[in-house]
Amino acid sequence: MTNRLSIFSNLILVLQVFLVLLCFADLSSLPSTVLFAGRLHPLILHLPITLILLLLPISLYAANSKEQKNIVAFFQLLLHGVALISTLTAITGFFLAAGGSYDADSLFIHKWLGVSIALLSHALIYLYNLLHTKPMVWNTFLALTILIAVAGGHFGGTLTHGKSFFSFSNNRKAVLANQSETEKIYPFAAASTSSIEKLNNPFRRVLKVSAKSPALVVKFSLKEKFDIEQLKACKEIAEQIVELNLSGMPVDDQVFPILAGFVNLEKLNLNATSISGVGINALSGLKKLEQLSVVNTAVGLQAILPLINMASLQHVFIWNTRIEAQDLVLLKTKSPKIKWEIGYQANKNEILQLSPPYLEDNENLIFEKGLSIALKNPFPNAKIRYTTDGLDPDSSNGNIYTKAVYTKELLRIKAVTTLEGWITSAITDFTVYPKGIACDSATLLSKPNRGRTFGAKILIDGKKGYSQTADQLYNSWLGFKKEDFKAGFHFGSNPILQQIVVSTADMTNSSGASVFPPTKITIKGGENAKKMKTIGVLSPDMPLMRRPNASIPYVIPIKPGKYPYIEIEMLTLKSLPEWHQEKGQKGFVFLDEVFFY
């Protein structure tokens, strides 16, 4: 029996390690076939509660039983069973929570109570061996477990039946009825799970309005990955979509005929898109549209007027458009039932900062023969000034941009937008890279803290990652903090190498980000990992203050020669400077590509 219980206990331990990992994982993107396991949660949750409630009386009986040996063996088996079923119940609960929509506060408490029950029930196995001769202490632990189980059950009931579930009020039924009435009932059927799963991806999220509602919300993100076909593909679930968010996506007036097909749309967000309003009257056919947002667009008064007679329309957000304050008076007069949100009205004497320029093509930052770099200006009358020598441009320094900049070599460009009467924009900082000499393979020799699943191949895949926000570093970068970066690169063709460039992220300006340059870059080369010598060293300058987020190339000249094997080591900053909010902590080093020339 002892050997079997030992195997039993080890199985529980493995499951509980998995349970702890689930506490910090995002399960919402898992396929529905995996989340289906969550439906087992309501089927098995009563069993651990019942068994936990029985532990105390059985323990008291075992302590006074004449057949002590048999009862103790049974009780130990029961403790193992309680731990196993409690752990499985908690695991299935995580999958159920990921696939549904629940009150966040109650879910948070219920989740951690469930995890506590699972861990404590496993701990009881070992505590029993230590404390069974001390009934007062042992029974205190049992009572604590029972109290946590009852509390967990209470918050679980709150999640599924409402906050009045444990109320003895005669009005409980009325309260539950009112709760049901507040959730909107839709006349259409739910979309198939397979359709939702097929459309869901990191840049297009399809979410349910609530666990039991057939209505869906669709949100697009990262404009560089957007394609109008992604919107058209949503036609498959057009009937179920009640909210659509296209904020910041590269769509223009051609989107309106497509949007007219989402007949049950209630909320539409077109903020910061390229629409001007031509053809916006196509939205008049959306008989259930209640809220429209066209903030930061070129929509004007004449474009918006066809919508004022829409019976369903209640809120329209129009600040930073071509609709002036005097136009608002006309709109309110013609459509008093619509609430027109014009936002903050700036003081005419206030000096505002311009938006920075941006690349026309942000995808092709790595080229083979040559590249024409075209910059876009968000303000028609403003000028773009840029530098290619590493110095910061401003309203009076730097080349004035008039046409695309052509290069055949690595080129780092810093650019700003300037206009008299406005504050010069923040600096746009980007680099373009020649493809260079291909590397046969790469191997990580240290463990990254971020992007471990990408592996070393991401450093030589010929694809540049985005680095304007901290979130983008999770998509295609390797991050090192606990260990310094070290990797080996293999060349079968023995090319002559003269220079190595490492593309790193520099993110000292984002709140909470501690992505700094490496303090030292060491290049070693030789026939293999056992026969190497140092062929290049670079010690980058550390920033003395916050600076704009950027991807910075570090160019390391090396002793020219043929090197079948190259090893690169980059040391992380061991103590962040006094001016940083995380001063004294270790800094991150992030890199996404290594080039060989």
Helices 46-64 and 104-131: crossing angle in degrees, nearest 10, is: 20
Q: Which range (31-35, 73-77, 283-287) has the least confidence? A: 31-35
More confident residue, 572 or 137: 572
Whether 546 has a pLDDT exceeding 70, the answer reads yes
Whether 579 has a pLDDT exceeding 70, the answer reads yes
Token pair 């008299």 in the structure block, residue: 420
Backbone angles phi, psi at 538, to 5 degrees: -140, 135
Task: Indicate the CATH number of 436-596 among 2.60.120.260, 3.30.300.130, 3.40.710.10, 3.40.190.10.
Answer: 2.60.120.260
Task: For strands 496-506 and 204-208, give the pairing.
Answer: unpaired
DSSP string, 339-357: EEE------TT---BPPPP
Helix (H, G, I), strand (E, B) or coil at 311: coil
Which amino acid type is present at position 551? S
The rounded radius of gyration (Å) of the Cα atoms in the chain is: 31
Whether 413 has a pLDDT exceeding 50, the answer reads yes
Q: How far is 411 from 555, CA to CA, in rounded Å?
A: 11
Q: What is the pLDDT of residues 221-258, one digit of tens each?
A: 888 889 999 999 999 999 999 999 999 999 999 999 99
Q: Chain-wide mean pLDDT for the chain? A: 86
Q: How far is 409 from 527, CA to CA, in rounded Å?
A: 29
Q: Which two tokens stand for residue 466?
A: 């985005």
Q: Which range (106-110, 156-160, 197-201) has the least confidence? A: 156-160
Q: Which two tokens stand for residue 124?
A: 């009881």
Nearest residue to 479 via CA among 594, 569, 588: 588
Q: How far is 201 from 230, CA to CA, in rounded Å?
A: 10
Under the banding of pLDDT at 50, 70 and 90, the label for residue 511 is: low
pLDDT at 103: 58
> HSE (CB half, 13 Å, CA atoms) of 110?
23
Under the banding of pLDDT at 50, 70 and 90, the label for residue 175 is: very low
Percent of the chain topping pLDDT 90: 47
Residue 11 burial by CB count (10 A; 0-12/13-18/19+): exposed, middle or buried?
middle
- Cβ of 72: how many Cβ atoms within 10 Å? 15
Q: What angle do CA 138, 144, 150 make, to 5 degrees?
A: 140
Q: Where are the domains of the chain?
A: 2-178, 193-341, 358-431, 436-596
pLDDT at 75: 81
Q: Give the CATH superfamily of 193-341.
A: Ribonuclease Inhibitor (3.80.10.10)
Whether 100 has a pLDDT exceeding 60, the answer reads no
Q: What is the pLDDT of residues 447-492, one digit of tens each?
A: 999 888 889 999 999 988 877 776 777 778 999 999 999 999 999 8
pLDDT at 77: 86
Which amino acid type is present at position 327? D
Q: How far is 262 from 300, CA to CA, in rounded Å?
A: 24
pLDDT at 346: 58
Whether 163 has a pLDDT exceeding 60, the answer reads no
Helix (H, G, I), strand (E, B) or coil at 302: helix
More confident residue, 275 or 493: 275
Q: Which range (377-386, 470-479, 487-496, 588-597) has the least confidence? A: 470-479
Under the banding of pLDDT at 50, 70 and 90, the label for residue 182 is: low
pLDDT at 366: 93
Whether 266 has a pLDDT exceeding 50, the answer reads yes
Q: Looking at mean pLDDT, say which of 156-160, 324-328, 508-512, 585-589 comes out highest.
A: 585-589
Task: For strands 371-373 and 405-407, give the pairing.
Answer: antiparallel
Q: Which residues are CB-contacts of 166 (< 8 A; sequence separation ≥ 6)?
A: 154, 157, 158
First to last CA, the chain: 66
Do the Cβ atoms of 470 and 450 come closer than 8 Å? no
Do the first three CATH levels of 193-341 and 436-596 match, i.e. the same topology? no
Do the Cβ atoms of 235 and 259 come closer than 8 Å? no
3-state helix, strand, coil in the chain (%, to 5): 35, 25, 40
Do the Cβ atoms of 456 and 477 come closer than 8 Å? no
Do the Cβ atoms of 72 and 66 come closer than 8 Å? no
Under the banding of pLDDT at 50, 70 and 90, the label for residue 531 is: very high
Whether 438 has a pLDDT exceeding 80, the answer reads yes
Nearest residue to 573 via CA among 533, 529, 539: 539
Token pair 């006094």 in the structure block, residue: 578
Whether 107 has a pLDDT exceeding 80, the answer reads no
Q: What is the pLDDT of residues 14-25, one digit of tens each?
A: 998 988 888 877
Nearest residue to 239 via CA among 256, 267, 259, 264: 264
Q: What is the pLDDT of residues 355-367, one digit of tens each?
A: 899 888 878 899 9
The pairs formed by 527-532 with CB atoms below 8 angstroms and a separation of 24 or more are 527/564, 527/565, 528/564, 528/565, 529/488, 529/565, 529/567, 532/565, 532/567
Q: CA–CA distance from 347 to each of 324, 353, 479 (Å)?
A: 14, 14, 44
Q: CA–CA distance from 485 to each of 148, 369, 520 (Å)?
A: 45, 31, 11
| Alpha helix stretches (DSSP H) within 425-522 | 473-476
DSSP string, 323-335: --HHHHHHHHHH-
